[in-house]
Amino acid sequence: MQIKFAVAGLLAATMLAGAGSAQAETLRLLTWGSYAPEKLIQKFEEENPDIDVEVTYSNNEEMIAKLRATGGSGFDLAQPSHDRIYSAQLEFDIYKPLDLSKIDTSVMEPKLLEGVKTNTTIDGDVYAVPHQWGTSGLMADKSKAPGFKRWGDLCDPQYKGETSMRLKRTILLGMAFDMGEDPFEAYSDLEKYQGVLDKVTDKLIECKDNIKAYWNSGDDLTAMMLTGEIVASETWDSTAFKIFDQNKDIVFIPPETGALAWIDTFVIPRKGKADDAAYKWINFVLRPENVTLMSASTGAIAAVKGGKDLLPEDKKAAVNAAFTDADIDNLKFFANIPPGVEDMEGRALEKIKAATGG
């Protein structure tokens, strides 16, 4: 009888444990590399033992492709940049409106919050709020390229074989500004924008002899800069900020025409199954102590009041070495991407790759 009771007790305990695990909710994040550091995940799960965090790292193009393929299912919280929401929602219906009453927007930088809300409001519904922001521009080793200051300098013959860039839309836009065009203004006339792309494509093909290698990740770029394989590159500011801590000669340079500014956001996919957990994560990572941990991982500035002051000390020094107030006033925020533009840019990039072996 004692054995029977023991077995029965074991079965009951197993059933209870199974019931507890069945109640656990999984928060499926679709985000950028470094946007869900393990230390923060562990802290969140300790505070919310009924939620397990599952992370898929991605980028803008892949996020939209994944959500488009599934009709907005498979993930509970995604983080596309602010210019990848309005058009994608109109075309593919992959997001659901946010319930702003569940987000502590009072901690957010008002200018960034209102900017994202304006860019992502459809029929009165807001689809995104800001999380982290930063810029794309240039990076150079001042000891080897002291006069580097324009996108076009990537193609200057004096740096032949010593520069790098990533073959993504950022370099198309930056080079367009450098060539006296306003690509964002041209979005309203796609025939005009095609002319801009053709001009930039020819320029970047001509530039191929200057390129040591086309980088694909921040790690690729970091290795080339720190080993001296290249003296300058197109870059995310966050990558430059991380390198600055190791070599004070390597700095981020806002181009003369203005660094391209992005805001990565929080959106909830249309068929997400863990909305409450998603809102908890959003509020969690916006707490000051967690902002510092997140920025230490991403290298970017949080879209909260005093976000710059919440950076780790080494990142503060890098930001101050890179930006003047005039540089910040000169930022070019990415514009909403109209339908069809990414296909046009994709064809331009494929033409460059085919011609350069990129």
DSSP secondary structure, 87-132, as one string:
HHHHHH--EE---GGGS-GGGB-HHHHHHHHHHTEETTEE--EEEE
Range scoring the smallest mean pLDDT among 10-14, 73-77, 169-173: 10-14
Residue pLDDT, tens place only, 221-249 = 999 999 999 999 999 998 999 899 899 99
Q: What is the pTM of this model?
A: 0.76
- The mean pLDDT of 194-207, rounded to a whole number, is 98
Q: If you average pLDDT over every residue of the chain, what do you get?
A: 92
Q: How confident is the model at residue 8 (pLDDT cuts 50, 70, 90)?
A: very low
**From 3.40.50.2300, 3.90.280.10, 3.40.190.10, 3.90.79.10, which CATH number describes the 2-133+262-325 domain?**
3.40.190.10
Q: Radius of gyration (Cα) for the chain, nearest Å?
A: 23
- Alpha helices in the chain, H assignment, sequence order: 2-23, 38-47, 60-70, 86-92, 110-119, 169-178, 183-186, 190-206, 218-226, 237-244, 275-285, 288-298, 313-322, 325-329, 341-356
Determine the Cα–Cα distance for residues 35 and 99; give it in Å rounded to an integer.
22
Determine the Cα–Cα distance for residues 182 and 174; give it in Å rounded to an integer.
10
Residue pLDDT, tens place only, 302-321 = 999 999 889 998 888 888 88
DSSP secondary structure, 154-212, as one string:
GG-GGGTT-EEE--SHHHHHHHHHHTT--HHHHTT-HHHHHHHHHHHHHHHHHGGGGEE
Q: Is 9 a residue whose pLDDT tops 70?
A: no
**From 3.40.190.10, 3.90.1480.20, 1.10.3210.10, 1.20.272.10, which CATH number describes the 135-261+328-356 domain?**
3.40.190.10
| Residue matched to tokens 């921040």 | 218
